[in-house]
Amino acid sequence: MKPPLRVLIIDDSPDDARLIVRELQHEFDPVVDRVETSEEMKSALNAENWDVVISDYVMPQFSGLSALKLLHQLNIDLPFIMVSGQMGEEVAVESMRAGARDYLIKDNLTRLIPAIKRELKEAFVRNERRKAEKALHATEARFQSLVEQSLVGIYLLQDGIFSYVNPKFARIFGYQQNELIESKTLLDLVAESDRNKVIESYLNLLGENAQSLHFNFQGKRKYAKIIDLEAHGAKTELNGKPAVIGTLLDITERKRAEEELRKLWRAVEQSPVSVVITDTEGNIEYVNPKFTAVSGYNEQELLGKNPRILQAGTMKADEYKQMWETITAGKEWHGEYHNKKKNGELFWESASISAIKNTEGQITHYVGVKEDITERKKSIEQLRQAQKMEAIGQLAGGIAHDFNNLLTIINGYSTLLLRSLGIDSPQHKEAEQILRAGERAADLTRQLLSFSRKQILAPKVLNINTQVKNIEKMLCRLIGEHITLVTNMDPDVGLIKIDPGQVEQIIMNLAVNARDASEDGGRIVIETANAELDDEFAANHPGSVPGSYIMLSVCDNGMGMSEDVKRRLFEPFFTTKELGRGTGLGLATVYGIVKQSGGYIDITSELEQGATFKIFLPRVHQQMDTITKPSTEEVPQGSQTILVVEDEPGVLNLVVHTLNKQGYNVLETTDPLEALEIFDQHQTEIDLVLTDVVMPFMSGPKLAETLTQKKPGIKIIFMSGHTDDKINFEKILEKGVPFLAKPFVNGSLVKKVGHALGNDAIRTETVKA
């Protein structure tokens, strides 16, 4: 099959054109168009892509040379063969100079086909070369554009001088390109401190072995500002001589960012709170040392895991769902949850979890910052408990104060009523029941005052071992034969300063509590010992103070108690016993006594594991006191004048009535200011002042101080149902001022007054504390 050939013939003779076609058909399958004018030639060139042009030399309206000129004008490169009826040498040379590829005589076309084949090959070669050159020029343009617009500095260095720099390179140093090319040396742009390093690096590159370089150095901008740079370079040649081509990056901001990142990294690594980073599925990618320290897991045990491994199972599924919905929405979640350490220990954490987003705002990770708040929650709970106990104590103290006044009246008049009734009187038994109920109520108010730390104390320096021995037999009867009582007392135990009756109350209440926890029998152990509480103990036991103490321990092997019970243990009226078996004031009383005495209570207990109460009372280094007990002899009547000051009218009437029956002359008032006026009017007559302690306008001690200034040596007796924060009762009692605690019975009143006035001869038996 003959190859196709597209031939444009320029000839005014159709016959001559047919001769050419006939010759071509020997080797080709020609597609031919014949034209005679320049316009026809233009139209034909626009209509088809021709392989070759064959043109007559001379025509009436056109010529071969004009056709060549037209091709050049149109910038069309086609093989052009000139043919003519006759052609001399000069015509042929002229045609070749004009651009014809060959010339033939019409009478001899044997060279036509070889000439066409040759020209087609040469045209192909020329065309391919043009394509290559065009591609090269395009590539060069692209690379030139790339270099010129590059965000990386590019340079060509030879003999230490810049042969080329791109705009970015110039901008890095604050110059224009023309200020650097063939003008500046490499060292002109290097900070003094790094010049030797830069020279050595480039000399090594230009040596025999090295092929490239990469190093960081400090450069110098046009106006001397120092910047951090990263240089890359490779060997090349320029004009046959060694050169270096490379890139330069300004890494000043990157180094600053890296330094900031290092700081942040150190901060996170050394953070006192836990930090965890997860992927979007919640798988752990990073934990800081604090996280591992708190959780007990090492880093390798956590990476790739889900934080669910810490869940304690106490948080509801809805709460986790709400947390996950919050952070996946790109919001920050704050909250607390109960987690579990590797060793199974439960702990509380306060957490803030938020999303980490990329520059497009897409969530890539989650970060959680968590703090172990276990101790804080314990402290808050302890503070809350202490505040609750304080509030209950204030309420209890206020109630007890009011009740003591009422009970003083009830019990006093009950006593008077009993004395006025014969033993056979039908009303005697009823009156006796009233007095017994009043006495039980008085005991309850005493316990409330003990809890509220407002009970008036008469502290003595004593040995706690003596107190335990004094009531040991009574304790045995109290706890019953089914429980074994063991005492283990340190013979070298130090001294404490406390109201002796309250020590006995502590021991008895703790023993009763231990007995009730051991209904099926058991063992109660009472121990005493010297103890030192250090700073570490105080830090772990809020409410305690470092120092020297005497420890009283009461331990049982009974049913123990839960954490909930331990939290409410000292609340007044709180009890786990059946209705009718206790008031719930026993341990509340112990709590109040210990606190009022400056001590501390430590409890250890678990369900079915018994309980141990350790009472720490401050150790003192003073002389041990003696304890006196007044006899029960009747007090003779008196005739002296007594000023009674009591703001509660009912109590005042009872006291006045009782003293009048004993023969005393009584002046009375409910107002301490009026008492001053009465005293001024009867100063020479008044032998004793009996005054309440807590009163409006002026306290009892302040009144006594004023009266003593008016009449030195005047005898004073205080009476009160509770202490007051503004009055230091301990100092008052240490001065030997007599005191009568409400509620009191009439006998106590007249004995105290008679003793103060010397109307009795009270015998006392002295016992060692």
What per-residue confidence (pLDDT) applies to 478?
A: 79
Helices and strands (H, E) in the chain, number of each type: 24, 29
The DSSP bridge pattern shows strands 212-220 and 80-84 to be: unpaired
Continuous segment of H or E residues that includes residue 650: helix 649-661
pLDDT tier for residue 769 given thresholds of 50, 70 and 90:
very low
Average of per-residue pLDDT across 431-454:
64
Question: Any residues with CB less than 8 A from the CB of 327 and at least 6 apart, and which?
Answer: 333, 353, 354, 355, 366
pLDDT tops 50 at residue 526: yes
Query: Domain boundary at 211, 229, 255, which?
Result: 255
In this structure, the answer to whether residues 620 and 662 fall within a common structural domain is no
The helix/strand/coil state of 47 is helix
Does position 354 have pLDDT exceeding 80, yes or no?
yes
How far is residue 719 from each of residues 401, 480, 635, 700, 734, measured CA to CA in Å? 12, 38, 19, 9, 16
How far from chain centre, in Å, is Cα 95? 96
Give residue for tokens 């590019």.
154
Of 421 and 604, the structure prediction assigns the larger pLDDT to: 604
Same domain, 17 and 65: yes
What is the model's pLDDT at position 764?
33
Contact by Cβ (8 Å): 624, 617: no
- What percentage of the chain exceeds 90 in pLDDT? 28
CATH code at position 699: 3.40.50.2300
pLDDT of residue 730: 56
Question: Stretch 626-637: mean pLDDT, rounded?
Answer: 56
In this predicted model, what pLDDT tens digit does every residue of 690-723 receive, in sequence order?
999 888 889 888 999 999 999 998 999 998 765 5
The reported pLDDT for the residue numbered 676 is 93
In angstroms, the CA 164 to CA 363 distance is: 44
The alpha-carbon radius of gyration of the chain (Å, integer) is 58
Q: Are 12 and 60 in contact (CB under 8 A)?
A: yes
The pTM (predicted TM-score) of the whole model is 0.47
Peptide bond into 743 cis (omega under 30): yes
Q: What is the band of 626 on the pLDDT scale with cuts at 50, 70, 90?
A: low
**pLDDT band of 763, cuts 50, 70, 90:** very low
Q: Are residues 755 and 645 in the same domain?
A: yes
Q: What is the spatial distance between Cα 546 and Cα 621, in angstroms, rounded to a whole number?
A: 17
- Whether 635 maps to a domain, the answer reads yes
Q: Which of 135, 139, 165, 138 is nearest to 150 (CA)?
A: 165
pLDDT at 349 > cutoff 60: yes
Instruction: Give pLDDT, residue 387.
Output: 67
Residue 379 lies in a domain: no
- Say yes or no: 105 and 229 in one domain: no
Among 372, 391, 423, residue at a domain's last position: 372
Give the domain-ending residue among 624, 651, 668. Answer: 624
Per-residue pLDDT tens for 153-171? 999 999 889 999 999 999 9
Same domain for 172 and 117, yes or no, is no
Return the bridge partners of 692, or none.
719
Tens of pLDDT, residue by residue over 95-147, are 888 878 888 888 788 888 898 888 888 888 888 888 888 887 877 778 777 88
Contacting residues for 30 by C-beta, under 8 A, at least 6 apart: 4, 5, 6, 7, 21, 24
Count of structural domains within the chain = 5
Compute the distance between CA of residue 162 and CA of residue 502 in angstroms, rounded to an integer.
Answer: 99
Q: Would you say residue 37 lies in a domain?
A: yes
Q: How confident is the model at residue 766 (pLDDT cuts 50, 70, 90)?
A: very low
Are 468 and 627 in contact by the 8 Å Cβ rule? The answer is: no
Q: What is the pLDDT of residue 400?
A: 62
Give the phi and the psi of residue 694 in degrees, each rounded to 5: -100, 110
Structure tokens that stand for 340 in this block: 């579990």
Give the helix/strand (H/E) hosting 414. Answer: helix 374-420
Strands 153-158 and 226-238: unpaired
Which DSSP symbol is given to 310? G
Give the model confidence (pLDDT) of 174-185 as tens digits.
999 999 998 888
The DSSP symbol for 635 reads: P
Same-domain status, 248 and 310: no
Whether residue 613 sits in one domain with residue 482: yes
Helix (H, G, I), strand (E, B) or coil at 345: coil
In whole angstroms, what is the distance from residue 10 CA to residue 392 CA? 126
Q: What share of the chain is helix, strand, coil (3-state, %, to 5)?
A: 45, 25, 30
- Render pLDDT for 189-198 as a digit per residue (tens, 0 to 9): 999 999 999 9
pLDDT, greater one: 257 or 388: 257
**395 vs 744, higher pLDDT:** 744
pLDDT at 767 over 50: no
Q: Mean pLDDT, to the nearest integer, of 627-639? A: 60
Mean pLDDT of 402-430: 75
* Helix (H) / strand (E) containing 9: strand 4-10
Pairwise CA distance, residues 333 & 354, whole Å: 6
Q: Which of 71-85, 277-291, 627-641 is most confident? A: 277-291
What's residue 454's pLDDT? 47
Q: Are 118 and 164 contained in the same domain?
A: no
Strand partners, 527: 488, 553
Closest CA to 447 of 383, 498, 508: 508
Do 549 and 595 fall within a single domain? yes
The HSE-up count of residue 481 (CA atoms within 13 Å, CB side) is 0
Q: What pLDDT shows up at residue 672? A: 93
Looking up residue 287, the CATH number of its domain turns out to be: 3.30.450.20
User: Can you give the pLDDT at residue 452?
Assistant: 47
Task: Kindly state whether residue 651 falls inside one of the protein's structural domains.
Answer: yes
Instruction: Specify if 415 maps to a domain.
Output: no
Residues 6+ apart with CB under 8 A from 433: none
Residue 106 sits in which domain range?
4-130
Longest Cα pair distance anywhere in the chain, in angstroms?
182
pLDDT given for residue 124 in this prediction: 84
pLDDT given at position 728: 53
Rounded to an integer, the average pLDDT of 185-212 is 87
Distance, in Å, from the CA atom of 382 to the CA atom of 378, rounded to the nearest integer, reads 6
In this structure, the answer to whether residues 26 and 40 fall within a common structural domain is yes
More confident residue, 500 or 199: 199
12, burial (CB in 10 Å: exposed 0-12, middle 13-18, buried 19+): middle
Assigned domain for 194 exists: yes
The verdict on residue 455 lying in a domain is no
Q: Look over the chain and give the mean of its residue pLDDT values, rounded to a whole number.
A: 83
Tell me the CA distances in angstroms from 239 to 158, 181, 235, 243, 478, one per residue in order. 10, 16, 14, 9, 117
Is 432 domain-assigned?
Answer: no
Token pair listed for 362: 């897409």
283: which 2 tokens? 């798988």
The residue among 402 and 247 whose pLDDT is bigger is 247
pLDDT surpasses 80 at 588: no
Q: Provide the CB-side half-sphere exposure for 541 (13 A, CA).
A: 17
With beta carbons less than 8 A apart as the criterion, state whether 291 and 268 touch. Answer: no
Question: Sorting pLDDT into bands at 50, 70 and 90, what band is 581?
Answer: low
* Contact criterion met (CB below 8 Å) for 717 and 448: no
**What average pLDDT does this structure show over 219-240?**
90
What residues pair up with 238 in beta bridges, in sequence order?
A: 241
Confidence at 456, pLDDT banded by 50, 70, 90: low
Q: Which segment of 419-428, 564-573, 639-648, 702-711 scores lowest on mean pLDDT?
A: 564-573
Does residue 156 sit in the same domain as residue 91? no
Report the percentage of the chain scoring pLDDT > 70: 86
Does residue 476 register a pLDDT over 80?
Answer: yes
Tell whether 592 and 652 lie within a shared domain. Answer: no
Residue 598: give its domain's CATH number: 3.30.565.10
3-class secondary-structure state, position 426: helix
Rounded (5°) CA angle 628-632-633: 120
